[in-house]
């Protein structure tokens, strides 16, 4: 099944139908990047990526809640929910193919059961045609991912509807809405160290409490 890759006017039109706009997404990502830039080499290696992800979630909520959006955190999956309650947006770091219409991105970090279940729900849809408007066969929310990628020179991002996973990584998409790239301020890249998490991996471990009893 082909992926609908939307750019330029088609991307803007699709975003408008979702109640979103490029300016808001760019503002959120720039603000989150500025927060991550406060980290230094003295911070833990994962701090820049974790702070960037957390602030992306927070700033997106701050922008959208006044527009009648809602939010929740089921099993620590941080969602922003549309005013109609028919879909949610989840922020996630992507790989270097993010925001490139000629490549197919995947999530940078492994995902857990909450994303697996969200993708399974997305699979219970079908494409109605040229507008790429999925019709739901289930009362559960569709889940879109706001993918972002930061390097030394630019921020690339897209809002995409995941279709399937391979192992713990999303490997295919129904719809990809590509945003124009945003130049970054000069300076060293602040992010997670190689092999470490950007703070958005979904092991779901924090969602469970393990009782500990003191030895007699």
Mean pLDDT for each consecutive 10-residue tract of the chain (216 residues)?
93 97 97 94 94 97 98 94 96 96 93 89 62 51 95 93 92 95 69 50 41 41
- Only one residue has tokens 């958005």, namely 200
* Assigned token pair, 212: 């500990």
The pair of three-digit structure tokens given for residue 103, joined into one six-digit string: 């490549």
What pLDDT is recorded for position 144?
Answer: 97
Share of the chain above pLDDT 70, in %: 79
Query: Rg for the chain (alpha carbons), in Å?
Result: 17
DSSP-H helix ranges across 19-86: 22-36, 47-64
What stretch of H or E contains 117? helix 113-123
Q: Tell me if 193 sits within 8 A of 201, measured CB to CB.
A: no
pLDDT in tens, 115-142: 988 998 888 864 444 455 555 444 578 9
Rounded to two decimals, what is the model's pTM? 0.82
* Residue positions counted in the chain: 216
Token pair belonging to 123: 């699979």
Tell me how crowded residue 22 is: count the other CB atoms within 10 A of its CB. Answer: 16
pLDDT of residue 184: 87
- The DSSP element (H or E) to which 18 belongs, if any, is helix 8-18
CA distance 140 to 41: 43
Question: What is the C-alpha to C-alpha distance for residues 120 and 91, in angstroms, rounded to an integer?
Answer: 18
- In this prediction, residue 209 carries a pLDDT of 34
């Amino acid at each position: 099944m082909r992926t609908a890759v939307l750019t330029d006017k088609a991307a803007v039109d699709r975003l408008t139908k979702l109640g979103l706009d490029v300016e808001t997404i760019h503002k959120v990502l720039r603000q989150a990047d500025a927060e991550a830039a406060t980290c230094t080499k003295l911070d833990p290696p994962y701090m820049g990526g974790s702070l960037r992800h957390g602030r992306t979630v927070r700033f997106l909520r701050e922008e959208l809640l006044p527009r009648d959006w809602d939010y929740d955190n089921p099993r620590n999956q941080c969602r922003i929910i549309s005013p109609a309650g028919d879909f949610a947006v989840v922020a996630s770091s992507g790989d270097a193919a993010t925001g490139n219409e000629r490549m197919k991105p995947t999530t940078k970090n492994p995902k857990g059961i909450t994303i697996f279940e969200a993708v399974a729900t997305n699979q219970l849809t079908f494409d109605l045609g040229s507008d790429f408007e999925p019709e739901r066969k289930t009362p559960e929310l569709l889940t879109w991912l706001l993918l972002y990628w930061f390097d030394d020179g630019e921020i690339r991002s897209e809002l995409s509807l995941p279709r399937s996973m391979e192992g713990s990584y999303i490997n295919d998409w129904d719809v990809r809405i590509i945003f124009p790239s945003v130049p970054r301020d000069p300076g060293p890249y602040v992010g997670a160290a190689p092999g470490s998490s950007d703070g958005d991996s979904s092991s779901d471990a924090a969602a469970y409490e393990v009782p500990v009893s003191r030895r007699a």
